[in-house]
Structure 1
Amino acid sequence: MNPLFLAHGSPMLAIEQNEYSEFLQRTGAALKPDAIVIFTAHWETEAVTISSKDDEYETIYDFYGFPDELYQVKYPANGSSEVAALVGELLTGSGIPVAYDHERGLDHGSWTMLKHLFPKADVPVVQVSVNPYRTAEEQFRIGEALRSLGSRNILLIGSGVTVHNLRMVKWGQEEPESWAVEFDDWLIGNMNKRDTDSLFRYEELAPHATMAVPRAEHFVPLYIAMGSGDPANAPKVVYRSYQFGTLSYLSVQF
């Protein structure tokens, strides 16, 4: 079960039928995981915090100003305290402190995509927080600690966006801005070369890094997913497009 970094984009993804939602539907139909562990850009904590519950999650609408239809969507997945405990054991075994949360629901970094991937909500979900202030290498090590999840038929998903600067979006523009493409090209090139040293130094080496990643919360799930992949597997770009000129939907399997 190869880990994935998936772009969650706009919350409207949950109710849209477009090329990307169709990609998610095809992807989910081809996968049969026993559980999902998803790192979401919309849950930030200092320590890695793991949702640990067995009952149904609340659907959190952590956004404003969208159509009423979006606030009616439910994603009634259950959690798994057993898988949460496994994630915690793997992380603490690698020297990474964890905390557990027994109440929080699924935020839109999780459910807007999961609704298309597994529409029946019949796969247990364990949601995990991110800390954008950790270094890129520390994010990678979090993923590395969870590398064995794939061999247990557990799907790890990093949910974020590589180019995410809402001040730079071009509403209505279909063609991507060149700087956004160049940033993603740099990422893809260095992932293909397995040049983690350069990837860990993206802030100083990647073109347009400050514009692409003004704040790292949406970016770090990429490094977690990357770290959790089998080093014997070549990274594979499974989807790529842009919305509003700059918002990247680059998605990668590791």
Structure 2
Amino acid sequence: MSTRQAALFISHGAPTLPLEDSPTRHFLTRLGETLPRPRAIVVVSAHWETSIPTVNLAAKPETMYDFGGFPAALYTLRYPASTDLGLAADVVDRLRNAGLRVGTTDQRALDHGMWTPLMLMYPAADIPLVMVSLPHNASGETYFQMGRALRDLRDDNVLIIGSGSYTHNLWQLSRDGSAPQAWTEAFAQWMDQALLENRQQDILNWKRNAPLARENHPTDEHFNPLLVMMGAATDNTAPVKLHDDWRMGSLSMACWQFD
């Protein structure tokens, strides 16, 4: 009997996370050790946006350093995972059968939204991946339907990961170790309650409903992976908050499991 996997929303933070001694680093390391081992991982990152959902077909994707100004040691890290090409073709079919226009590429490398958590959860890089992009500026319903199209893969021992950030305003960061600011706590507390009560429509329309939404997400790409994971969840099943931490006064490192 095949193992049933979860869908995870992971706040990935800065690309330096694998080099840090932090609560989130230790949480992700333990998470990879405690979850049932998947046969493959489908990963959606805030850092890969395209005009339509796109599936990566590069057999051996390179490690991308899509950032600047960080310590030199960061640019030596590699995550040499392979792509499960058969599963990638299945993902393309599932998204198309859901009525979505879908593209493919064989040129995409792993961005830090993908390799930062995976390097901690599965450091051997021996679990094959399928990388899927987010359609830029799509509706909440579109992201939700992407998750719906993929959720049956969970029954075939495929882990689905959405990598983003629960809050993400890089223009309002404070000194690391600062207490969370009131405007970002208000958003996180509202979202926590909405998720625990499984208020899907409220969350899909979060930009209108959540307090101080644009202060916490001036752009929405870091929140959209959560909407995909919500779509990948079992009907009428509320998610579980696995981890909570704050960096620099306004950057939530919350992680949620959708079963």
Same-fold call, TM cutoff 0.5: yes
Q: Compute the displacement of 1:233 (Å).
A: 3.2
Match of 2:245 in 1: 241
Superposed CA RMSD: 1.1
**1:214 counterpart SS class:** coil
- Name the structure 2 match of 1:40: 45
1:24-35 matches, cutoff 5 A: 24-31=28-35, 32-35=37-40
Secondary structure of 1:216's aligned partner: coil
User: Is residue 132–residue 220 contact of structure 1 (8 Å, CA) maintained in 2?
Assistant: no
Aligned length: 253
Q: What corresponds to 2:113 in structure 1?
A: 109
Partner of 1:185: 189
Asked whether the equivalents of residues 7 and 249 of structure 1 are also in contact (C-alpha less than 8 Å), the reply is yes
Is the counterpart of residue 171 in structure 1 residue 171 in structure 2? Answer: no
Which runs of no fewer than 5 residues in structure 2 stay unpaired?
A: none
Q: Does 1:158 align with 2:162?
A: yes
Residues 23 and 245 of structure 2 are in contact (CA less than 8 Å); yes or no, is this contact kept in structure 1?
no
| Cα distance in 1 for residues equivalent to 2:51 and 2:153 | 23
Q: Is 1:70 matched up with 2:92? A: no
The SS at the match of 1:157 is: strand
The residue that corresponds to 2:57 in the other structure is 52
Shift of 1:17: 2.6
SS of residue in 1 equivalent to 2:99: coil
Q: Report what 1:227 is aligned to.
A: 231
Provide the C-alpha distance between the structure 2 equivalents of 1:11 and 1:102, rounded to a whole number of angstroms: 24
Deviations 1:32-70 (A, max 9, x none): 00000000111110110111133x221100100000000
**How far off is 1:241 after superposition?**
1.0
Which aligned segments of 4 or more residues in structure 1 are displaced greater than 3 angstroms?
none
Q: TM-score w.r.t. structure 1 length? A: 0.96
TM-score, structure 2 length as denominator?
A: 0.95
Say whether 1:127 aligns with 2:131. yes
Alpha-carbon distance in structure 2 between the residues aligned to 1:2 and 1:151? 9
Residue 164 of structure 1: SS of its match in structure 2?
Answer: coil
Q: Could you tell me how far 1:97 is from its partner in structure 2?
A: 1.3
